[in-house]
Structure 1
Amino acid sequence: MDGTTLQEIAHARALELPASGMEWPFGPGAEVAKVLGRMFLLLTEVTGEHVVVLKAEPRDAEVLRAMHPEITPGYHMNKRHWITLHPGGALEAEFVRELVTDSYLLVVESLPRARRPVDPATFLAAESGA
């Protein structure tokens, strides 16, 4: 998929998630999705390429980078905790949506329980109607 489509899928998914919103704290060209003030997604351009930067568990990030050449360490982020999705590879739309959701849930887990917009342990089951 091309970079515009990659970002559109990630952007749409981010806006579907409870208590999330988009901001431009770094100026034009760097759109950020936050949940209750905490960043979980960055849409930007790197060397002319539209990319998506997401939070990930360090072990998951390693596996994802090993399995997918279009996933690299997070651009301008902590390389252990963030990944960058690049266009042009074999990433499927549903997989991108899952990675955005995982990033969101990692941030929600770090919030105080009383402030969490969803229960990270049951969100996916509740969302699928199971």
Structure 2
Amino acid sequence: MNVEELRDFCLYKKGVTEEFPFDEHTLVFKVMGKMYALIPLERKPPQCNLKCDPERAIELREEYDGQITPGYHMSKKHWNTLFLDNLSPDLIRQLVNHSYDLVVSGLTKKLKEELDALPSQ
């Protein structure tokens, strides 16, 4: 999966915005204002940081040694860095969904209601 395909997949989700809050090279995707994915655009090979359940994060790092690592410049407990060239598109989509769902589950009741009220894409 290339960066453009990943961007399209991230943006397709309900309540998602994209922005560059840190610098002009790090694309951030947020659901209802909360980060769930970061793509450093100038990194080679292409990478993505995704939020992950801590136990699952450890399992993924062991199973995909060197392809999924602790989140670069992120909380190592809650974020993973994925090297996109080395992983299947299906796995990447699954992990994007997991990250999105984790963030949505942590939203306040008010934000969840606002998200639910948004039209489906």
Say whether the fold is shared (TM-score over 0.5).
Answer: yes
- CA RMSD in angstroms comes to 1.6
What letter is aligned with 2:12?
A: E
Is the 8 Å Cα contact of residues 24 and 30 (structure 1) preserved in structure 2? yes
Is the 8 Å Cα contact of residues 27 and 41 (structure 2) preserved in structure 1? no
User: Partners in 2 of 1:103 and 1:60 — Cα distance?
Assistant: 11
Q: For residue 79 of structure 2, what is the aligned residue in structure 1?
A: 82
Alignment match of 2:30 (pick from 11, 30, 34): 34
SS at structure 2 position matched to 1:111: coil
Deviations along 1:6-52, one digit per CA (max 9) or x if unpaired, are x2232111111100010000111100000111000000057633210
SS at structure 2 position matched to 1:31: strand
> In the TM superposition, what is the alpha-carbon distance from 1:92 to its structure 2 partner?
1.1
Moved over 4 A (4+): none
Q: For residue 97 of structure 2, what is the aligned residue in structure 1?
A: 101
SS at structure 1 position matched to 2:80: strand
Deviations along 1:57-99, one digit per CA (max 9) or x if unpaired, are 000000000011200000100001000001332x111211111
What letter is aligned with 1:78?
A: S
Percentage of matched positions with identical amino acids = 35
Residue ranges of structure 1 left out of the alignment (5+ in a row): 119-130
User: Partners in 2 of 1:45 and 1:29 — Cα distance?
Assistant: 5
Cα distance 1:96–1:9, how it changes in 2: closer, same or farther (>3 A)?
farther
Give the alignment's TM-score, normalised by structure 2: 0.85
Is the 8 Å Cα contact of residues 56 and 103 (structure 1) preserved in structure 2? yes
Is the 8 Å Cα contact of residues 25 and 42 (structure 2) preserved in structure 1? no
Is the 8 Å Cα contact of residues 51 and 86 (structure 1) preserved in structure 2? yes
Is the 8 Å Cα contact of residues 9 and 97 (structure 1) preserved in structure 2? no
